[in-house]
A and B are shown apart, each in its own frame.
Chain A
């Protein structure tokens, strides 16, 4: 860190916190996942609120509980799963730019709903990029380390003149995700899509940044042979032999070996990243 440069210090990371940006492109051919913020919409909002370009890195906190101290005066914003935000113990706005004095401590409480909360700092979190991204990829083990108590995060000096007024999308209490048919519908029984949309599915504890693992109606296959590995996308709903769907999030592998029945609409992928373990989610077929 260069003297005089901005920094924030992690006092408490909460249950799980990482640094995220838009992810790694261009390395899929050697097996490197895209990664990036799990909820790209809330992440983009946090950057926009502090006047960062969309490529700046921010903190992704899972289940809140994050506490950071500003080493220098900074502008921050907290978005995503809504939490109580305080600066040195005084209530501060969620989803707005906040001026934080040098030495002040910003606390992010537990989310009332949703799962992932974003904390952006004007200038961006400026840890070294790995393969062109500052995202921590939990599947591939690439990128900056998971945040710990005492982690010092340098703040960059990125600026972006043109800022569109950000659009705020509150995280809803009930999650209904629109899906469209995936590439391997013909591997499933005729009623598989109806069963998926009838649900309900419960998000299992084993879920992480790689995927939501879901408990609910099993989705019957028509074919039992092994599918050769093929490319995956964010939002793909893959069905292993046990019939329990797996919905891929940011750190999904580049390829997968089970058929994909459906794909969550791009507009709703941010919601999948806000699905809490133990909570139900519903799927609805796109008209």
Chain B
């Protein structure tokens, strides 16, 4: 594990796999070190926010370096079905990048058994892993200034659904009617880290 500096109220702990991120988050939650205020897991890192009045940065770094997180499988018992229609504007581009027919892209995307690795980017946006490795595509060279709410998108090893209209650079392959974020609902986010996700064709519901 590497511990990287990140200002006066946070450090970034870096490990070599998503499974070790889960292992580290589990360890940090269990040990609940005084002064640690928030943990933000991501793909290979955990951002550890702390209160410098309670623990010093160097003391926290030393403590973190002594942890030996083991890889853990992630996933709650909760499964969410997301209805999807594959009519995204980047479907032809994704087909070309992956040397697949558009129908194969849809088929492979539908077969994925996904889990929310972490959230970020926007409220309710879950980075879903567990998809077909053949569907790994880079982000668009030029991001769109407006991606519509519900857009189902691909980038790198992830798939995701935009919870609201916003700028974005992911490749859009479809759309979903699911309400991913509703501040009136408790909890407001449909997806949280660990949630299992399957896509279901809209017509089949």
Interface residues of chain A, those whose CB is within 8 Å of chain B, are 25-33, 130-131, 139-142, 180-184, 226, 228-233, 235-236, 253-255, 257, 260, 263-266
For B120, give its contact among A31, A226, A233, A263 (CB under 8 Å).
A31
* A260 → chain B closest CB, angstroms: 8
Tell me the bound Cα distance from A30 to B124 in angstroms: 6
Given A31-B124, A140-B122, A226-B156, CB of A254 within 8 Å of CB of B9 = no
Q: Is B171 an interface residue (CB 8 A)?
A: no
A131 near B183 (CB under 8 angstroms)? yes
Q: Which 6 A-B pairs have the closest CB atoms?
A: A231-B47, A255-B120, A228-B43, A183-B4, A30-B189, A263-B7
Given A226-B138, A230-B44, A253-B120, CB of A30 within 8 Å of CB of B7 = no
Tell me the bound Cα distance from A68 to B127 in angstroms: 43
Given A230-B12, A266-B7, CB of A29 within 8 Å of CB of B193 = yes
B183 near A130 (CB under 8 angstroms)? yes
Number of A-B contacts defined by CB within 8 Å:
117
Q: Is B196 an interface residue (CB 8 A)?
A: no
For A266, give its contact among B8, B125, B192 (CB under 8 Å).
B8
**Among residues 54 to 68 in chain B, which have CB atoms less than 8 Å away from a CB atom of chain A?**
none
Most buried by A among B8, B39, B49, B187: B8
A254 near B120 (CB under 8 angstroms)? yes
A32 near B44 (CB under 8 angstroms)? no
For B123, give its contact among A140, A228, A231, A265 (CB under 8 Å).
A140
B193 and chain A: residue at smallest CB distance: A29
Sampled A-B contacts (25; CB under 8 Å): A28-B38, A29-B41, A29-B192, A29-B193, A30-B187, A30-B189, A31-B119, A31-B189, A33-B123, A141-B123, A182-B6, A182-B7, A183-B4, A183-B12, A183-B14, A226-B139, A229-B43, A230-B45, A231-B45, A233-B10, A236-B6, A254-B121, A255-B118, A263-B7, A266-B7
Return chain A residues, CB-CB under 8 Å to B8: 180, 265-266
A269 and chain B: residue at smallest CB distance: B7
A241 and chain B: residue at smallest CB distance: B141
For A229, give its contact among B12, B121, B124 (CB under 8 Å).
B121
B187 and chain A: residue at smallest CB distance: A30
Return chain A residues, CB-CB under 8 Å to B126: 31
B127 near A30 (CB under 8 angstroms)? no
**Among residues 127 to 160 in chain B, which have CB atoms less than 8 Å away from a CB atom of chain A?**
127, 138-139, 156
B5 and chain A: residue at smallest CB distance: A181
* B117 → chain A closest CB, angstroms: 9
B47 near A180 (CB under 8 angstroms)? no
Q: Is B40 an interface residue (CB 8 A)?
A: yes
B7 near A180 (CB under 8 angstroms)? yes
Tell me the bound Cα distance from A27 to B46 in angstroms: 15
A230 near B42 (CB under 8 angstroms)? yes
* B100 → chain A closest CB, angstroms: 21
Q: Is B188 an interface residue (CB 8 A)?
A: yes
B125 near A31 (CB under 8 angstroms)? yes
B121 near A231 (CB under 8 angstroms)? no
Return chain A residues, CB-CB under 8 Å to B139: 226, 257
Q: Is B164 an interface residue (CB 8 A)?
A: yes
A30 near B12 (CB under 8 angstroms)? no
* A157 → chain B closest CB, angstroms: 26
A31 near B47 (CB under 8 angstroms)? no
B41 and chain A: residue at smallest CB distance: A29
* B143 → chain A closest CB, angstroms: 10
Tell me the bound Cα distance from A65 to B196 in angstroms: 49
Most buried by B among A140, A235, A265: A140
